[in-house]
Structures are given as C-alpha cells and as structure tokens.
A and B are shown apart, each in its own frame.
Chain A
Amino acid sequence: MSIALAEDSVLLREGIARIVEAAGHTVTAAVGSADALVAAVRHAPPDLVVTDVRMPPGHSDEGLRASAAIRESYPELGIVVLSQYVADAYVPTLLDAQGNGGIGYLLKDRVGHVNEFLDALDRVAGGGTVIDPDVVRQLLARKRDDGPLASLSQREREVLSWMAQGHTNGSIAKELYVSEAAIRKHVGSIFAKLSLDHDADRRVLAVLTYLRSQ
C-alpha cells in the first residue's frame, strides 16, 4: 500500500521508511512537519498516514491536529499516530476523529517490533483501531477496588486488554489458545458487566472511552 510519513527526526523517518519499504509498501511522501504532511496528502492521497505527534514548529501535538484536518477531507483514510511516550491524554483527540477510517496510536518503540508494527499498519489501513499495548496497560492499571472493572475476572480483564488494542475475537482466540466461541462468551460477559453497547465495529472505541472515563 502507499504510505505518507511525517516525522521530524530524519533518523527515525528513514528508519520507518526502510521498514515499510522492506515489507513491500511504497512511501509516497516522507516529510518533517505537519503542514508538509497535509500538503502531501492533498497532493496525492495515500492508503495510510503515519505521523509523529510532536513536530515543528510548536513541538506539541501538531501531528494530531494534522490528522484531524486530514480526516475531515478524507474520512476513510487510516491514520497511525506515533508517540514517544505513553500519554492517554492523546486518546480522546484520537477517538474524536471524524470518519470511519482506521485509527492507530502506537509508541515509537513499537516500530522496532517490525512484524507487530506492520500488522498494526495493515489493521488500521483495513479500518481497524489499534492502540498500543502499553497505553492499554496504563488505562487498565487504574487500580480501583470498587466499580465495574473490579467485577471482571482475571480472564475477562485479559480479553478486555486485547480488545482495547483493537484485536478481533478471532485473533484474541489465537493469542490465548482458546476457541473463538469462548472469547465471544467472555466479550459478552464483559459488555454486560460494564454495561457497554455491543457493536462490533465500534467496540474498541467503546472500551477505550469506558476505560478513560474510569
């Protein structure tokens, strides 16, 4: 697939480009600022955007804002946002993104786990939501003894964390070496306990929104 890449560190930009090109993808644009990214996407819309969160000139959340701007014009375009550290403060902005395209939030460290990273790109390009396991871990780490999260069993918490990362029932079943039917049962129980809306397409968002509100 074709990928537009924005990352202000030349070192990392080239590193990411090498990885995706080695996997047979095409880098249509490799830029170092949010404005250049928006311009590049307008010029030749790619299949997927991979962008750093903080970029010049302000080095705050330019990448996130560029993503929001891009999604307004290209609601179906998948966007993977890379961050250097875990900050669940970014999650609401991501969840608020317009359109049905896939959304990914990954730590830069994840890029080094090449297969995991490439798999995440594929899932986002396919319209899925992928959240870095570390971010999910942090959201789940909120230790409350009361509240519905405490009522989940150990297995259900495990399944919840996979769900939050954007895995399907099938892939969770494979990871945990159980049948997909067993996972379906766990998911149903989780949604009932947390009183969430069971909509297969939006379930990651539902779970994340729930976790954040805790």
Chain B
Amino acid sequence: MASNPLWFLTSSWPWRSFAYTLSGAAAGLVVAVAGFTYIGAGILLSPVVIGVVLLSYAVVVGVPIGRLERWRLRLMATPDRPTAEDPHVDASFASTRERLAIWRSEPASVREFGYAMLLGLLFMPVNIILAVPTVMATVLLFLAPFLTWDGPVDVFIWRAETFAEGLPIALGLAPAWLVLSAYVQTVLAGAQAEAARALLGPRTGELEERIATLRRSRLDLVSAFETERRRIERHLHDGVQQRLVGLTMTLGLAETQLAPGDGRALVERAHSEAEAALGDLRDAVRGIHPRVLVDHGLLAAVNEVADRSPLTATVDLTVARLPSAVEETAYFVVSEALTNAIKHANAERIEISGAVDGDRLHVEITDDGSGGASVVPDGGLAGLVTRLDALGGTLSVSSPTEGPTTITMEAPCHVEA
C-alpha cells in the first residue's frame, strides 16, 4: 500500500479492508453482547456455585472468539503474512472436560481473552463510528442524483436540487470520498489485523517451553512405568517366589521322609506342580522386568535371553552399564525381535550386535527368516517405538518379504529431562 498508492486503489485491498472493519464491527457486537451476558451471568450466579465455575472458565470464552477472529483475519492475509496459526495444543484426542482444562491453563487463551476485550470494547465502537458511516456516506453520495427526486441534497457546502446537479456529486465527490475512505479503512483494518496477529498467534518461546514440558512429562511417564514394573517384579520375586521355593523345599523334605507309596507319589506330584508354578512365575517376571538385567546389565541379560531361545544366536555387544531406562528398552527390543523371529519369520539364526558410539547406543538384530515384519499399532514393537521416542531414540524395521529382517534401534546413553 505504501509502495504504490495508485496500484493500491485498483487492488483488492480497499474492499478487503472494508469487509474486515465491517465484519469486525459485527463480530465485536456479538462478542460484547455474549461476553457481557456471560460475565454478568457469572456474577449474578456467583452466590450459587455455578456462577463461580462460569467465572473461573471465563478465559476459555476467548478460545472460540480467537478461532473466529483467526478465520476473519484471512481477509487480511498476504502471501508472506498468512493468517495467525492456531496457538493451542492439539486437544482433539481429549474429552470435552479435559479440553476445557487444557484451554484454561494455556497462556494463548488468556491472550485471546484479552483480544476479545479489545474487540468488544475498542475495535467494535471505532468500527461502528468510522466504518459504518463511511460506507453509508459512500452509498448516499453515489445515489445523490436519485435522492434529489425526494428533495434537495446537502453535501457540506453543496446543495443539489435536481438530478443534473446531483451528478457532479455522484461522479466527482463520491469517488474522491471513496478513495479517501479507502485509505482510512485500510489503515484502520491494518492496525486491527496487526493486533489480531500479535495476540492470536502462537509464541515461539511458548512452543519451545511446551515441547520441553511434553518431553519431560513423557519421560516421567516412561520412568513411572519402569518404577511400577520394578515394584511388581520385586513384589513377585521377594514375596510369591520365595514362598514357592519354600514350598518346594518342604515338599522335597516330605518326600525323603515318606515311605514309597500312594502318599509319597502325591507329594512328588505336588512338588513337580509347585516347580511348574515357579517356572511360570519366573517367565512372567522375566517379561516384566528381568532381574539379571538389573543386577548384571544389558550384555548378561541379552546373553541369557539369547541362550534360552531355540535360535542359533550370535551376540556381539560391547556395552557397559547404561541408565536403566535405556538398558530396559534395549533388552525388550532384543527379546521382541527374538520372539518375532521364532513366531512369525520361522528364522533359524539371529545376530545381535551393538555398541556405544559417542553418546548413543546402537543395537541391530538381524534374522534369516521370511521377513514381512512391520510396526503395527498395539504390536510389541509399537510400544517400544513410543518408549524410544520418549527417550530421544529411534527404532526402524527393514523387512522385505523374502527376508532378512533387520531391526535397528538407537538411543542416547544419557537420559535427560
């Protein structure tokens, strides 16, 4: 607009500005009425609890207004300055209640609320005072020749009494007025659009902070899960398992003190059943949180799980002790890969290799099976992808239909919040 005043007049800008200020007047009116009603209702109802609740959620009222205003701001969009982006967290997954809580806690909502006040209390009156009369005056000036049929028309110092006298007003004054008001409206609309952009868009610092918060909370979740698994494991290990071992000892002792016969046969059977229960419990504990991993680290745990597998396994791991979240995730990646290789790929051999490179742990597992593995939602690998994601690591699966399947994982050796 500043660069070329004449080009500006022939562009769409004057019309867009008119549309923006006029629609702003309308929107402001709605916002003012709705806002006053809401806050008024809140105050009136505050003796009852509902009023307090209404007031405490007042900020949330800014959210739909913000959405409407960002949509309206598209009128003022230029190729390099499009409308403001949605500054809110994506809450589409959440229930209405959770969504309200999220919105209430966001600084973006507060800004939107502030913008709504500005719109209802300042922009709306200004637009009504300036834009509405301007538009009306323009229309009237263009219609001046026809208006003379109803009586004389006065414009400033001119008085037109006939159609012919009205023509100069319609053909000269009206376009001049239009040009002048086009500039005024565009400045007005530009200023309001600027305010909307500033208040309704996302803030970079906020985004970064939110990402940091999200990362932290995901890590917290992962470690909370881990703590919980450890607790369950310890409980099974120190409680149930000890009791079962104690039971097998008692039964074993009973066997030695009983004469051969039906009674002894029953005790022997009870003994082997108790041992089977112990075996099942061990397998369950191993799937929850293997003790050998806690005590001896990744290499020992991977060796153990590879030794128990019916596959011919080669283990080539060079790792020292790592943070437990990393060790555990890597262990479960290996054990999932082993399970998949046996269950789905009919593999016979598997190679597990890994090392720490700089600050990152790389582990690669390759089998000679039939391939076709992928990360499916709710599958064993998907959960591990999520965990690795939270740790700042990655998991990739290469598995062409003829095989071989290679699962590669990478994770930082230091977990920082």
Contacts and interface: CB of A to CB of B under 8 A. Distances in A.
Interface stretch (B48-56, B288-296, B388-396): B288-296
Interface string A112-155: 11110100000000000000000000100111110000000000
A9 interface: yes
Nearest to B272: A112
A118 to B, nearest CB: 9
B108 to A, nearest CB: 49
B312 A145 contact: yes
Given A12-B245, A85-B291, A89-B296, A22 B253 contact: yes
Interface residues of A, number: 31
State the main secondary structure of chain B at its contact with A.
helix
B249 A112 contact: yes
A88 B249 contact: no
Contact of A87 (B246, B300, B312): B300
Interface string A53-94: 010000011000000000000000000000011111100000
- Interface size range of chain B in the complex: 20 to 34
Contacts of A88: 300, 303-304
Given A12-B242, A109-B278, A112-B245, A141 B307 contact: yes
Which of A16, A61, A88, A144 has the most CB atoms of chain B within a 10 A radius of its CB? Answer: A88
B275 interface: yes
Contacts of B271: 112
A114 B296 CA distance: 29
Which of B245, B256, B271, B275 has the most CB atoms of chain A within a 10 A radius of its CB? Answer: B245
Given A87-B292, A138-B308, A141-B307, A22 B256 contact: yes
Contacts of B312: 143-145
A115 B256 contact: yes
Contacts of B303: 88
Nearest to A138: B307
A44 to B, nearest CB: 25
B260 to A, nearest CB: 14
Contacts of A170: none
A200 interface: no
Contacts of B282: 85
Contacts of A145: 312
Contacts, number: 85
A18 interface: yes
B304 A114 contact: no
A184 interface: no
B304 A15 contact: no
Nearest to A90: B296
Contacts of A143: 311-313
B235 interface: no
Contact of B241 (A16, A84, A86, A111): A84
B251 interface: yes
B92 interface: no
Contacts of A54: 295
Interface in A131-186: 138, 141-145
A139 to B, nearest CB: 8
A203 interface: no
A54 B256 CA distance: 29
B190 interface: no
Nearest to A14: B246
A19 interface: yes
B307 A142 contact: yes
Which of B241, B246, B255, B308 has the most CB atoms of chain A within a 10 A radius of its CB? Answer: B246
Which of A12, A54, A114, A117 has the most CB atoms of chain B within a 10 A radius of its CB? Answer: A114
Interface string B310-331: 0111100000000000000000
Interface in A25-61: 54, 60-61
Contacts of A89: 292, 295-296, 300
Contacts of B300: 87-89
Contacts of A86: 292, 304
Contacts of B250: 15, 18
Given A111-B245, A114-B256, A84 B237 contact: yes
Contacts of B314: 144
B95 interface: no
Nearest to B310: A143
Given A60-B295, A85-B282, A143-B312, A15 B249 contact: yes
A109 B295 contact: no
Nearest to A117: B252
Interface in B233-267: 237-238, 241-243, 245-246, 248-253, 255-257
26 contacts: A9-B242, A9-B246, A11-B242, A12-B245, A12-B246, A16-B249, A18-B249, A18-B250, A19-B249, A61-B295, A84-B245, A84-B291, A85-B282, A86-B304, A87-B292, A88-B303, A88-B304, A89-B300, A112-B248, A112-B271, A112-B275, A113-B252, A115-B256, A138-B304, A138-B307, A143-B312
Given A18-B249, A84-B291, A141-B307, 12 more contacts: A9-B238, A9-B242, A11-B242, A15-B253, A18-B253, A60-B295, A84-B237, A87-B296, A87-B300, A112-B248, A112-B249, A114-B252
Q: What are the 7 closest A-B residue pairs judged by CB atoms, nearest first?
A: A112-B248, A15-B249, A112-B252, A143-B312, A114-B252, A89-B296, A11-B246
Interface of B: 237-238, 241-243, 245-246, 248-253, 255-257, 271, 274-275, 278, 282, 291-292, 295-296, 300, 303-304, 307-308, 311-314
